[in-house]
Amino acid sequence: MKFPFKTIALIGKHREPGIARPLLRLADFLAEKGIAVVVDALTVEYLKQASYIHLNKSSYGVMELAEMDGKVDLAIVLGGDGTMLNIARNLAPHGVPLVGVNQGRLGFLTDISLDTMLQTIGNMLEGQYVVEERMLLTARVLRAGAELYSSLAFNDVVVHRDNANNMIEFEVRIDGEYVYNQRADGLIVSTPTGSTAYALSSGGPILHPGLEVMELVPVCPHTMSNRPVVVKSESVIEIEVLMRHASFVRVRFDSHSYFDLENKDRLEVTRYAAPAKLLHPVGHSYYHTLREKLLWNKSL
């Protein structure tokens, strides 16, 4: 049978011993179907350290994430949503579609269980899948007009204080128009994907991942009238730090990378040009995932 994916990359959660056996089982399953299998270099390194050295003696290739552009047709991520966030940031610029296998319970992004992994992925190889595109953010830090740092974010870009003494103050502009000055513990700029993460716990709305919008969610604002705002995805969001008090201010990107901000630094957040492409089994339901993850199916 001719499959739509000729070369598939396997990526496991870093330093997770329980991922080795299912990953190797999946690699053998794909190889038996005549699919070329490559394994992420960091995953292989960990498997070697964990004494799963027989992977090196197999016919599976080893490849860095940065090398996968144009060389793999699909990446299967075994881990959790955090692992998927990291891989999506790396592979979305290259247009590599992603499938997520969750180690434990159903995840927001990793929606295939280990128990049904082989059967479900086997069906997907035969074309039984749906494609979902999710937007990412790109953000850059400007100081006196010069760019000092930039990063992608799948969930959110968060400006926050890093000490317990003072709130931080910042000015927000959208598409060049002044919106407000705010004192708060922080501000979250989130994608629809990130609306069920930190933004949700800070009182933001749940946004369907198919929407092309961004939301701004204040974290513990000083004034209760400062509420979440949803804007179009084409907006340019500017956040200028105003250090009128002794505060240590940091910007984080998906809680993965960060940069320390100084007075008058400006953070510019926009939509990233390329989406992350997620493949789901036929019948995948976002609302089913919400019910499972947020316990909406539990009787009161």
Return the bridge partners of 106, or none.
Answer: none
Phi-psi region of 2 (alpha: psi -120 to 50; beta: other; left: phi over 0): beta
Please report the pLDDT score of residue 105 as a whole number: 61
Please report the pLDDT score of residue 178 as a whole number: 98
> CA of 251: how far to CAs of 148, 162, 232, in Å?
13, 10, 22
pLDDT tens per residue, range 126-143: 999 999 999 999 999 999
All structural domains of the chain, each given as residue ranges with its CATH number in brackets, are 7-135+275-293 (3.40.50.10330), 137-271 (2.60.200.30)
What three-state secondary structure class fits 52? coil
- 73 given a catalytic annotation: no
Q: Rounded to 5 degrees, what angle do the CA atoms 235, 237, 242 make?
A: 165
What mean pLDDT value characterizes the chain?
A: 90
The whole-angstrom separation of Cα 63 and Cα 58 is 14
Q: Which of 28, 69, 81, 156 is catalytic?
A: 81
What three-state secondary structure class fits 89? helix
What is the DSSP code (8-state) at residue 292? H
pLDDT tens per residue, range 178-196: 999 999 999 999 999 999 9
Residue 56 has pLDDT above 50, yes or no: no
Residue 220: pLDDT band (50, 70, 90) is very high
The whole-angstrom separation of Cα 8 and Cα 20 is 17
Mean pLDDT in residue range 18-26: 88
pLDDT tens per residue, range 226-283: 899 999 999 999 999 997 665 689 999 998 899 999 999 999 999 999 999 999 999 9
Predicted TM-score of the model (pTM): 0.92
Which residue has better confidence, 105 or 97?
Answer: 97
